[in-house]
């Protein structure tokens, strides 16, 4: 991971649209380019602080409730690490089966309970729209950590921050981004495609026919003038790709297990496949991976997916500080 340098982002004072205190983070539709530059500027500062001093007391006395109705390793633990690096503490509800949810408590009552004890709630839930429902019921900020096949806005923010930090702040306009794999159920690609549509990029979608990007999302992005194209194979677009965003085929979203078996290994990134790609491009993945990227590729400098996870810590530190009025 490159060492942080003096911030390449907008100085904080130059961004007028910076009032995130008390706000929910539900969808990437909430963000415009100045917001992103502000968030990434704060995240860049957080990275420098972690590298210099590790943990500091910006959110001392603040409490995060981490409420996860679906499994998570990265999102859950990076929000915990983010809060603890900022001097705050965490109520972890990573297994709702040990909570009163198993007695039939509703999402709204659960959120209303947790906000009695916490200053901010991070929520992952299997139903699209659940984060918005929770936010309407709650007085404290709700951060959407994934709502079914809907959105995963903090993942999209960390994904774009990864592109900025790896390829350079000024270069996003003009990039070709290729999204590969499960584009139907993959909420990370839904959020990321929306966020990228704020820039002058070209987006390629490569997927099996039954896992294509939702039509309404393609239309939404086309309305912003973004060139997009769909393919069934990677080889047509790999040589022009600057960012290859690989996704897992989401077994848990399939109703028919045979369909999953048929498409699960449609694409596998290997060192051999990557011979056709540029040397200065990057490969990203929100993780977890199953078979879609061979471990043989992990040591290639273009493999950015482990660095991407670390960038997520800094973005989540920035978001917590912002919604709690400390950035
Ligand atoms: N990328 C991501 O959301 O990972 P987890 O499911 O482990 O949180």
Query: Who has greater pLDDT, 169 or 55?
Result: 55
316 lines ligand 1 (CB under 6 A): no
> Residue 292 is encoded by which pair of tokens?
């879609």
Residue 123 has pLDDT above 60, yes or no: yes
Residue 87 has pLDDT above 50, yes or no: yes
Active-site residue, selected from the candidate residues 47, 74, 285, 316: 74
Give the model's pLDDT for residue 16. 45
Q: In CATH, which of 3.30.413.10, 3.40.50.1370, 3.30.1330.20, 2.40.50.100 is domain 12-151+311-323?
A: 3.40.50.1370
Give the model's pLDDT for residue 3. 60
What are 175-216's pLDDT values in tens digits? 999 999 999 988 899 999 999 999 999 999 999 999 999 999
Separation of CA 80 and ligand 1 centre (Å): 13
Ligand 1, residue 73: give the atom nearest the CA.
Answer: 7
Separation of CA 11 and ligand 1 centre (Å): 31
124 lines ligand 1 (CB under 6 A): no
Residue 97 bears catalytic tag: no
26 phi and psi, to 5 degrees? -115, -40
Distance CA 323, CA 147 (A): 20
Neighbouring CB atoms inside 10 A of 75's CB total 24
Residue 124 bears catalytic tag: yes
Average pLDDT over residues 92-112: 87
What are 221-244's pLDDT values in tens digits? 999 999 999 999 999 999 999 999
Give whole-number Cα distances, 310 to 2, 51, 163, 326, in Å: 12, 12, 13, 22
What are 298-320's pLDDT values in tens digits? 999 999 999 999 999 999 999 99
pTM metric for this prediction: 0.93
> Residue 125 is encoded by which pair of tokens?
């839930």
Kindly write down the DSSP assignment for every residue of 38-90, as one continuous string: HHHHHHHHHHHHHHHHS---TTTT-EEEEEESS--SHHHHHHHHHHHHTT-EE
Topology annotation, domain 153-309: Rossmann fold (3.40.50)
CATH 3.40.50.1370 residue ranges of the chain are: 12-151+311-323, 153-309
Helices (H), the chain: 33-53, 74-85, 107-114, 130-137, 153-167, 187-196, 215-222, 257-263, 305-323
Give the model's pLDDT for residue 265. 87
What are 4-55's pLDDT values in tens digits? 667 888 655 555 445 899 999 999 999 999 999 999 999 999 999 999 999 9
Give whole-number Cα distances, 321 to 21, 58, 129, 156, 175, in Å: 9, 8, 25, 18, 30
Residue 157 has pLDDT above 70, yes or no: yes
Q: Whose CA is nearest to atom 3 of ligand 1?
A: 75
Average pLDDT over residues 119-140: 96
Distance CA 134, CA 125 (A): 10
Residue 74 bears catalytic tag: yes
286 lines ligand 1 (CB under 6 A): yes
Distance CA 323, CA 236 (A): 43
Give the model's pLDDT for residue 100. 81
Average pLDDT over residues 104-129: 96
Give the model's pLDDT for residue 4. 61
CA angle 264, 301, 154 (to 5 degrees): 60
155 lines ligand 1 (CB under 6 A): yes
145 lines ligand 1 (CB under 6 A): no
Separation of CA 14 and ligand 1 centre (Å): 33
Q: Enumerate residues 6+ apart whose C-beta is below 8 A from 142.
A: 24, 25, 26, 111, 120, 121, 122, 123, 131, 134, 135
Among left, alpha and beta (phi > 0; psi -120 to 50; other), residue 221 is alpha
73 lines ligand 1 (CB under 6 A): yes
Does a cis peptide bond (omega within 30 degrees of 0) precede residue 288? yes
CA angle 127, 132, 138 (to 5 degrees): 120
Active-site residue, selected from the candidate residues 75, 110, 178, 241: 75
Residue 152 bears catalytic tag: yes
Active-site residue, selected from the candidate residues 124, 184, 194, 285: 124
């Amino acid at each position: 991971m490159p060492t942080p340098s003096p911030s390449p982002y907008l100085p904080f004072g130059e961004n007028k649209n910076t009032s995130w205190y008390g706000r929910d983070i539900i969808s990437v539709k909430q963000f415009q380019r100045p917001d992103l530059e502000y968030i990434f500027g704060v995240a860049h500062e957080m990275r420098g602080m972690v590298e210099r001093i590790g943990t500091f007391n910006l959110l001392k006395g603040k409490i995060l409730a981490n409420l996860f109705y679906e499994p998570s390793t990265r999102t859950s633990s990076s929000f915990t690490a983010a809060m603890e690096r900022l001097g705050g503490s965490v109520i972890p509800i990573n297994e709702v089966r040990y909570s009163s949810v198993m007695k039939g408590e509703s999402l709204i009552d659960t959120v209303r309970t947790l906000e009695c004890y916490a200053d901010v709630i991070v929520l992952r839930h299997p139903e699209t729209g659940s984060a918005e429902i929770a936010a309407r019921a709650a007085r404290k900020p709700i951060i959407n950590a994934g709502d079914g096949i809907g959105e995963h806005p903090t993942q999209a923010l960390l994904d774009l921050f990864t592109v900025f930090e790896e390829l350079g702040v000024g270069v996003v306009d003009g990039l070709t981004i290729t999204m590969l794999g499960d584009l139907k159920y993959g909420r990370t690609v839904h959020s990321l495609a929306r966020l990228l549509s704020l820039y002058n990029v070209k987006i390629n979608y490569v997927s099996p026919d039954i896992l294509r990007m939702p039509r309404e999302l393609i239309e939404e992005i086309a309305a912003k003038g973004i060139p997009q194209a769909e393919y069934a194979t990677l080889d047509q677009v790999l040589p022009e790709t600057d960012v290859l965003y690989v996704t897992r085929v989401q077994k848990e979203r399939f109703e028919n297990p045979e369909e999953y078996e048929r498409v699960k290994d449609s694409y596998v990134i290997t060192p051999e496949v990557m011979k056709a790609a540029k040397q200065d491009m990057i490969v990203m993945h929100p993780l977890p991976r199953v078979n879609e990227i061979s471990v043989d590729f992990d040591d290639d400098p273009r493999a950015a997916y482990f660095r991407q996870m670390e960038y997520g810590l800094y973005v989540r530190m920035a978001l917590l500080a912002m919604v709690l009025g400390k950035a």
